[in-house]
Structure 1
Amino acid sequence: MDNRIYFRLGGKSYDLTETRSSSDIWYEWVESAKPFLRRMKISKGTLMWLCNRFKEASVIKGKSFKTWKCKDISISIYCSLKFNKFGRFISVISVNGNDRSVIILPENSFNEGWGELALKIHNFISQKPSLQKSNAEKGGLSSLGLRGEDSYKEILQKKKWCNGDQSQTSTSSSGSDRGPLSRSLVGRFPDCDEIPTRAEVRNWAQQTWRGIHNLQIYDMNGTHFLFEFQSRRDAEHILLGDWRRRNHPLLLEWWKPTAGAFHADTIFDWFWVRILGLPLQLWNDKVMKQIGDLCGGWLETEEETQLKNHLRWARLRVMGPREKIPSSIEISDGDLIFTLPVWIEAPARYRKKEEDGLRDREVNKMKEKGKAIASPSLYQIETEERFRDKISNFYP
């Protein structure tokens, strides 16, 4: 295969496979030796850097020890020349969050070096035009010298603003870039008893993803967070890693139209509801339980409601199902009856639009006759403004 090479070192077999994404070129390096199998995925810039380190290590003779380190966005690469009783070898360690992978490259014979391996890999990754080369031709700055073949000084000299040209650099996206959502990830902490806030997630990301700049984080629905990166390449590096906050894993995936929503057939065991405008004289545990039972079954009362941190609404967790939760409830207090709106905190749900061949044919017939036909709305959405009007009697 043109996108894969094989080689052997010290009784071990290796294969290197090229894969391309919309923003970068990646290489999956597999080391096979009984009874284990090691894998590592690195970018083209990192692989070029490793080739140079292999050449440098080949010049060193005898039992020596040396370590090199580089940073490729969120991935830290450690390349070390070592030796043991079996001879000299090079270890390559990739660290991306809690994800760690290792490749061991032994020397075929003492002091032979790894020059032939470096040449073979270099020829393999240089046989096709790459994204890195095209970026270098445009004069783009590389990340820590890992992108392109020009030096930092040469790249700077190619920049228009260094030559006195004050024209604006084009920031239009390429055809494959569909805007910020195409470089965004959706993440959640499924094992957390208490979901972190947006501010807590932001502080954690700033401390953990130090190689990522201009990262925007949004709270989608209280459980899912949207991570908008400056480039899709940054997002790809983060997606490869294993990330944890306070020992709780962060599950990441590319944004998609249904992110944060559930299929229409999903069944929920409970819901949070808000009882708006509950009179203060009824703000007690007994009334809370009665209200919860009217909504399918009381499960718990939110701590903020119990502590009365605010009196805008009472928040309860009820059993449901959703069909049993009314849009309003009536509570009697002496000779008074209060009607209170119930706000159900149900997550967004989706379904695929059903194809109705019969209606399509009817529409075509009406169009042929020159008559207008109205398309019915699939959903009726109550806007925030209407909701405010609905409860305006409770809030002056």
Structure 2
Amino acid sequence: MPELSRRTEQFTDSVIRRMTRISDEYGAINLSQGFPDFDPPEALTARLAEIAPKGPHQYAITWGAENFRDALAEKQLHFSGRKPDPEKEITVTCGSTEAMMAAVMSAVNPGEKVIVFSPFYENYGADAILSGARPIYVPLVPPDFSFDPEVLEDAFRQGVKALILCNPSNPCGKVFTEDELRLIAGLAEKYDAFVITDEVYEHILYTPNRHIYFNTLPGMWDRTIMCSSLSKTYSITGWRLGYVIANERISERVKKVHDFLTVGAAAPLMEAAVAGLTLPDSYYRDLQAHYQHMKELFAGGLKNLGFIFTDPQGAYYILINIDKWRKKNESDLEFCEWLAREVGVGAVPGSSFFREPVNNLIRLHFAKQDDTLLQALDRLSDLDRKAASRYS
């Protein structure tokens, strides 16, 4: 038989998606894969019901339906202060996953180096491998997940082509400060590198943190390839609507890569999603208040139970220290499988996010209804007893 691709032989399946399957198998509350269990805004679902009988049902323009791109450009202007050209500077993709893949493939040649902050969303490593890039990992140091400027510059000195920046960050919930972003911008300019941003959690922030769009920093428009999606902002992870915003030169390349990856995003879903992009400011205020409530409910419950965990500044993930319950020499993956089976809560092993040898953290998310979170906390309250039985 012919040899399969060497480039993909080191791949495992996604640990996040694997933990969803394990959660389903044991009937666990799935706090692993980051999708909500509450409905999208009614404006989107009502519009989807309207267009279902009549369409559009055929291909849209490859880089996105015109009215969708127009609405997206206006939203970006409203929140960032800069309006991308909807015809020349926006590419609509099948989720931010494809957006990131198209961005990396457009910017990076095989063998070139890409900086990735650790911990990182697991897809970034796969994106680098598929593009033939060589990742250089720079640690974000707990508990505030700051980075050492000298360590970061040492990475740039190695001749990198791009840096991948997730802000707010999955899995640690870090929101990068303006000073940190300006430092990154200065290094990108000094060493002539792109910055590929993942900004899917741009509207999920906790007081007093604020989101700064990297491409609005001085000199960064022509260096930034912004990736984002509608998935988290509008609770439509299954619609798979993402986008890339970049200058015309970069976008021309992204459009071509996107065309051959997926042709285009789903036409009826783009049409329905325009109703989300045009929602008033009150929607985003309510969204932040909703997530603030869920964070306080879940983090407060964990604190009352005596857990040691991170306090996210944005996004909706918490990293929990499991040293108290993990068996000696047990991996965090084995612990997560036991947690789903015996305690009934699904989590993601932290080792899937860290380049460093971290084996004592697991990630839970709280984008869930109150009842779901309360039920999960109730199950976790039995963790001491369940763990004790492992040693008896």
What TM-score range do you get, normalising by the shorter chain? Answer: under 0.3
TM-score (norm 2): 0.24
Structure 1 or 2: larger strand share? 1
Largest Rg, 1 or 2: 1
Larger RCO (alpha carbons 8 Å, 6+ apart): 2
